[in-house]
Amino acid sequence: MSDLTLKVDNLHVHFPTPAGVVKAVNGVTFTLRQRERLGLVGESGSGKTTTALALMRLLAPPARIPHGSMILDGVDLLALSEEKMRQARFAEISMVPQGAMNSLNPVMRIRSQFVELFQAHGQFTSSSDIDARIASLLEQVGLNPSVAGMFPHELSGGMKQRVCIAMAVALRPKVIIADEPTSALDVVVQRQVMETLGRVQEALGATVILVGHDMGLMAQFVDRIGVMYAGRLVEVGPVRTIFRTPKHPYTQMLIASIPTLEQKKLFKGIPGVAPSLLNPPSGCPFHVRCDQRLEHCSRIVPDSIALSPDHWVACHLYPKEEHHDQPA
Amino acid sequence: MTSLLEARSIGKTFRSSGFFRRTSNVALADFSLSIDEGKPILTAIAGESGSGKTTLTRLLLGIIEPTDGAIHYRGTDLRAMNHAQKRQFRQEVQAIFQDPFEVYNPFYKVDHVLRTPLAKFGLAASEADARRQMEAALEKVGLRPEETLGRYPHQLSGGQRQRIMIARALMLNPKIIIADEPVSMVDASLRATILESLLTLHQEFGISLIYVTHDLTTAYQLCNDIYILYRGSIAESGDVTEVIKDPKHPYTQLLVGSIPLPNPDQRWGADQPTPKTMRSAAASGCLFADRCPYVMDRCLASVPPMIALSPTRGAACFLYDDDHAAHSTRDGVQQHSR
C-alpha cells in the first residue's frame, strides 16, 4: 500500500532488572496511514509510553529492543545508525513528550531553542531567515511571534505546550507522537491545544499517534484506537467501532468505566489490578480480571484476529474459524 | 438544627511585601457555605487551576486562616478554639488529598498511616482492637485487609493507596470529608471504585462530602450541588444537574463546552466559539470579562453580584440582571465587545 507511513511489526521492549526481565512491550504490531490519527490507550504500565519512546529510539539503557521492526516510509528505524537516527528525529518522526512544558530549557529564550533545533539538523541559514521561520511556526500554533524573545517561565502552561508543538512540527516530520500532551492543562486550554495540534497536523499532512488514557480526548481527536494491556495491543479499530461495539472484554470494561454526563451515581470500575510485567500471568494477560474467561484463556495467548479488515482483536472469544465459515 | 461547619463570606488575600512594591493576590473572595448536622451534603467545588479551590480546601481545614470573614465549627471560630475543640475539629473534619504517593512515608508499612490516628485520638482500647478497626475500615472501602496490611506503599497501586486514605479518614468517624482532587492521579479504570467508596461514605454513614475537582463529569456523577469558581469568586452555583445540563454563566458554558465527551459523534463544543485570549487582566469589573463573548460595558465597570435564578441557583453575571435583561439581546451585547 502506497499510503502507508509507518509499519510497526512485532515490537518488543525489555528492561533487564535484578529480579528478571520486564517485558514492557510484548509483540506490538500496527500500521499507520498517511494523515491518520491513532490513539494508544491503556492503564499506567500498559506499555503505551514505552512504545512511543521505542518509536523515537529514545529508550535509555538498560532497555533493549530484542525483536521487532519499525518501518517508516521504507526505512527500518531500528536498523539506522545512531547518527542517522538523530537526524531522523524531528525531521521524520517527532514527539511532544509527556509534560512537554517542562522539557523546555528554562534558561534559554524560545528563539535560541528553535535555533538549536535547526542547527542540529544542519538547517542554519541567515539569522533573518531563521526569525521568519520561527515567527511563522509560532503563528501556526496560535502564538504571537514575540514569544520567541521570551523565557519559558514567562509563558503559561498552554503556551509552553504550543511552543513544544511548534518545535515538533518545525522540520515537517511525517509522524508526530503526542504523549499525553494535555494532561497537565485545564479543560479549556486542553481543547485549544488539541485543536491547534489537529490544525497543524492537517496543514502538514502528517500522521499523529496520541498516547493517553483520557477516552474523552480520544473520542474527540483520533480516527483509530489501539488498546494496550500489559504490553500487548489487545484491540485496534476505528474510533466509532471501539466506542460502539468494543469486542475485547478489557475494552468493554474500559468503555463502560468512562464517566459520562448520561448517568449519575453509577460507577463501574475494572476490578483487580494490572498484572506485573515481571511475572505476567500465563495465557491471555487479562484472564485474571476477565468476566468472560474461557477455560483455555489461562494457558494460551490469543492471536490477533481480524473481525473486519480494520478491526483486530486478540481474544479467545473470537475464534478464527467462526469468521470464515459461519454465515452472519 | 445545629450548624456544623459554617463559612461566612470568607476570603483570602495573599500579600507579599517586596522591597520596592507590595503585591496582593486575591485567591478567594466572599465564599459562604454551611453544613448542618443531620443534613449531610454532597457538594462539588469545581474550577481550573488558579480558581482558588485549593485555597478554599486549606481554609476549610483550618490549615490557613481567612483574611476576610470567619469559619465556625460547631459555633466556634476556628481561630478561637480551645484545645478540646480543636481536637474534635481535627477528628471530625477529614481530608483526602490529590497525591496518593506523597502522603505515605515509604519506609513504613501502610499499617502505620492507619494506626497513627487511632493512637493519636485514643480510639483503640488495645492492639487487637486497633487491628479490628483497621480491618473493618479497609473492608468498607472495598479492600481486603489481608492483601493490604503489612505491605509497603510501593507494593500497592495508586488506587489502593487512595482507598487506604479514605479508610483512614473513615476510622475517625468524621462528620465531613474534604477531598481535594482525589482521583486526578489515579488510573481511569480505578477512578470509579474510589468515587464509589466516597459515595458509600455519604449514603451509609451520613458523612458530608466536599469534592474539590477540575473534572465536571465526575462532579456531575457524584454530587448533588456544585459551586463553579473562577479566579477566586463563585461564578455559578446550584443543583449539579441544572448547572451542567443548562449552564447560565458564560464561564460555566465555556467549561461545559470544553469537556471532551467520550462519544465520537458528539463534537467538542461544536456550538461554541473558542475564546481568543489566554491571558487575563480585568481591573475593576467582572473577572471573566476579558474572555467573555457577551461582555458589556457594565461588566468592565463593576463586579456582578450573585443573581438568584431560582431559590437554589445563582450566577454572578449581569446577563441575568432583571433591569438589564429586558433590553439585552445577544447581538446588542456583542457590539460592546472590545
Interface mutation vs chain B, best among A41, A44, A252, most B CBs within 10 Å: A44
Cβ B261–A216 below 8 Å, yes or no? yes
Q: Cβ contact (<8 Å) for B260 and A190?
A: yes
Asked if pLDDT for residue A323 goes beyond 60, the answer is no
* A192 contacts in chain B (CB < 8 Å): 274, 278
Q: Where are the domains of chain B?
A: 3-246, 264-338
The pLDDT value given to residue B278: 41
Task: Report the alpha-carbon distance of residue B291 to residue A103 in Å, rounded.
Answer: 29
Report the distance separating Cα B75 and Cα A95, nearest Å. 56
Contacts of B158 in chain A (CB under 8 A): 44
Q: Which residues pair with B209 in a beta bridge?
A: B42, B177
A83 vs chain B: nearest CA distance in angstroms?
37
Contact criterion met (CB < 8 Å) for B278 and A189: yes
| Average predicted confidence (pLDDT) for chain A | 88
Interface of B with A (CB under 8 A): 48-49, 157-160, 187-193, 195-196, 199, 214-218, 220-222, 241, 244-245, 254-255, 258-265, 267-269, 274-275, 278-279
- Interval A226-244 mean pLDDT: 94
Residue B15 corresponds to which cell in the numbers above? Answer: 500579600
B275 pLDDT more than 60? no
User: What distance in Å separates residue B74's CA from the closest CA in chain A?
Assistant: 30
How far apart CA B79 and CA A37 sit, in angstroms, is 56
Per-residue model confidence (pLDDT) at position B132? 93
Distance CA B186, CA B194 (A): 9
For B3-246, give the CATH class. Answer: alpha beta
Question: Per residue in A152-171, pLDDT tens?
Answer: 988 888 888 889 999 999 99
Residue A138 touches partner B, C-beta closer than 8 Å: no
- Closest partner residue to A43 (CB to CB) among B189, B221, B244 is B189
Cβ-based contacts of B268 with chain A (< 8 Å): 191, 220
Check: CB of residue A207 under 8 Å from CB of residue A176: yes
Nearest to B183 by CA among B119, B99, B282, B267: B99
Among B148, B181, B186, B189, most A C-beta atoms within 10 A, so best to mutate, is: B189
pLDDT in tens, A93-108: 999 987 767 889 999 9
How many whole angstroms separate alpha carbon A2 and alpha carbon A4? Answer: 5
The reply to whether ipTM tops 0.95 is no
Give the pLDDT of residue B323. 53
CB contact under 8 Å between A217 and B265, yes or no, is no
Lowest mean pLDDT among B73-77, B78-82, B173-177, B278-282: B278-282
pLDDT of residue B264: 85
Nearest chain B CA: its distance from A240 CA (Å): 6
Measure CB to CB from residue B217 to each of A44, A257, A261 and give the nearest one.
A261
Calculate mean pLDDT across residues A292-319: 91
CA angle A7/A12/A13 to nearest 5° reads 120
Taking an 8 Å cut-off on Cβ atoms, the answer to whether B221 and A259 are in contact is: yes
> Residue A321's pLDDT is what?
58
CATH code of the domain occupying A4-325: 3.40.50.300
Q: Which three cell numbers stand for residue A212?
A: 493517553
How many percent of chain A have pLDDT more than 70?
A: 96
Q: Search chain B and give the residue with CA nearest A216.
A: B262
Q: Is A79 exposed, middle or buried (0-12, 13-18, 19+ CB in 10 A)?
A: exposed
Q: Do B188 and A215 touch (CB under 8 A)?
A: yes
A321 in contact with B, Cβ within 8 Å: no
Name which of A159, A217, A253, A261 to mutate to probe chain B: the one with the most chain B Cβ atoms within 10 A of its Cβ: A261
- Contact state of B263 with A219 under an 8 Å Cβ cutoff: yes
Helix (H) or strand (E) holding A95: strand A93-96
The answer to whether B216 contacts A264, with C-beta atoms less than 8 Å apart, is: no
CA atoms within 13 A on the CB side of B197: 29
Question: CA angle, corner A137, sides to A132 and A138, nearest 5?
Answer: 100
Average pLDDT over residues A112-133: 87
Say yes or no for a CB contact (<8 Å) between B262 and A187.
Answer: no
User: In terms of C-beta density within 10 A (0-12 exposed, 13-18 middle, 19 or more buried), how is residue B218 classed?
Assistant: buried
Confidence of residue B335 (pLDDT cuts 50, 70, 90): very low
CA atoms within 13 A on the CB side of B141: 25
Instruction: Quick: pLDDT tens for B147-157.
Output: 889 989 888 87
Average pLDDT (B308-332) is 71
Cβ–Cβ below 8 Å for B260 and A213: no
Answer whether residue A119 shows pLDDT above 60: yes
E strand residue ranges, chain B: 3-17, 22-36, 42-46, 68-73, 76-77, 93-96, 176-180, 208-213, 225-230, 233-239, 307-310, 313-315
B189 vs A159, A263, A269: nearest CB: A269
CB B11 within 8 A of CB B68: yes
The pLDDT-based confidence of B330 (bands split at 50, 70, 90) is very low
Q: Do B262 and A219 touch (CB under 8 A)?
A: yes
For A266, what's the count of Cα atoms within 13 Å in the CB-facing half-sphere? 7
Chain B residues whose beta carbon lies within 8 Å of the beta carbon of residue A255: 262
Residue that the C-alpha cell 535547526 belongs to: A118
